[in-house]
Amino acid sequence: MSGINIGVLAVQGDVVENLMSTRLAINELGMQGIVNEIKSPDQISELDGLIIPGGESTMIGHLSLVNGTLKKIKEKVEAGMPVLGICAGMIMLAKKTKDRVVGEMDQPLLDVLDIKVERNAFGRQGNSFEAEISLDNIGISKFRGVFIRAPAVIDVGKDVQVISKFNEKTVAVKKGNIICTAFHPELTEDLSLHKYFVSNINRKN
Ligand code: GLN
């Protein structure tokens, strides 16, 4: 089939919601494409874009390390494949992480984006919340941010662009083919972020 081929890493977390939002985004943009769950490393080479969903980054990291998916994703992202990391997905893409309570963390990461992420930066489960945010630099002036045990970016390397802040904390960043959000766009009906991601993907295969 012609069209773009997008994957949603399906180890754990908000997989189904991201499959749905991405398919709807492709439709609304009038593009052609398929969106599939990614469970094994051999599915990665044919992808044009990947979403790493929210969930539990320690679990996503360990399980993807064991079956070799982590290594394949890293190679593909370093070769320029567009990737959207959401919440735990943002943590996975980072170079370094620490937990707000536990401190420095040593968990498997992709280490493809020069940022340091603080896990649970807004508190734990009880502190999940929704807030109006904006991502003006990518043309989204108003967005409902759903924050669930959300991380925040506490250090950004050179050339990493901050695209959204909430309460002085950095909650979305971008560099080249990589975009990360601390909040969950797949849990709103607003498709603008998924559309932004999809519209920047070109078919390569
Ligand atoms: N606190 C989670 C983590 O570390 C992320 C939460 C989320 O993805 N909603 O991994």
Mean pLDDT to the nearest integer, 74-84: 98
**pLDDT(80) > 90:** yes
Q: What is the pLDDT of residue 1?
A: 54
Nearest CA to ligand 1 atom 1: 149
- Distance from the alpha carbon of residue 53 to the mean position of ligand 1, in angstroms: 10
Band (pLDDT 50/70/90 cuts) for residue 157 is: very high
Band (pLDDT 50/70/90 cuts) for residue 204 is: low
Rounded distance between C-alpha atoms, residue 73 and residue 24, angstroms = 24
**pLDDT(160) > 80:** yes
Q: What is the pLDDT of residue 125?
A: 58
Q: HEC profile for the chain?
A: CCCEEEEEECCCCCHHHHHHHHHHHHHHCCCCEEEEEECCHHHCCCCCEEEECCCCHHHHHHHHHHCCHHHHHHHHHHCCCCEEEECHHHHHHEEEEEECCCEECCCCCCCCEEEEEEECCCCCHHHCEEEEEEEHHHCEEEEEEEECCCCEEEEECCCCEEEEEECCEEEEEEECCEEEECCCHHHCCCCHHHHHHHHCCCCCC
Residues 107-144 have pLDDT tens digits of 999 999 999 999 999 986 567 999 999 999 999 999 99
User: Angle at CA 192, nearest 5°, toward 187 and 198?
Assistant: 100
Share of the chain above pLDDT 90, in %: 92
Q: What is the pLDDT of residue 2?
A: 73
Strand, helix or coil for residue 175: strand
**pLDDT(205) > 60:** no
Band (pLDDT 50/70/90 cuts) for residue 75 is: very high
Mean pLDDT to the nearest integer, 94-113: 94
Eight-state DSSP code of residue 95: E
- Distance from the alpha carbon of residue 21 to the mean position of ligand 1, in angstroms: 20
Residues 166-178 have pLDDT tens digits of 999 999 999 999 9
Pocket test for ligand 1, best of 119, 125, 130, 181 (most atoms within 8 A of CB): 119
Structure tokens at 89: 């997905």
Superfamily name and number for 4-204: Class I glutamine amidotransferase (GATase) domain (3.40.50.880)
What is the number of the ligand 1 atom nearest to the C-alpha of 54? Answer: 8
Mean pLDDT, rounded, of the chain: 95
Yes or no: say if 196 and 140 are a contact pair by the CB < 8 Å rule: yes
**pLDDT(99) > 70:** yes
Global pTM reads 0.96
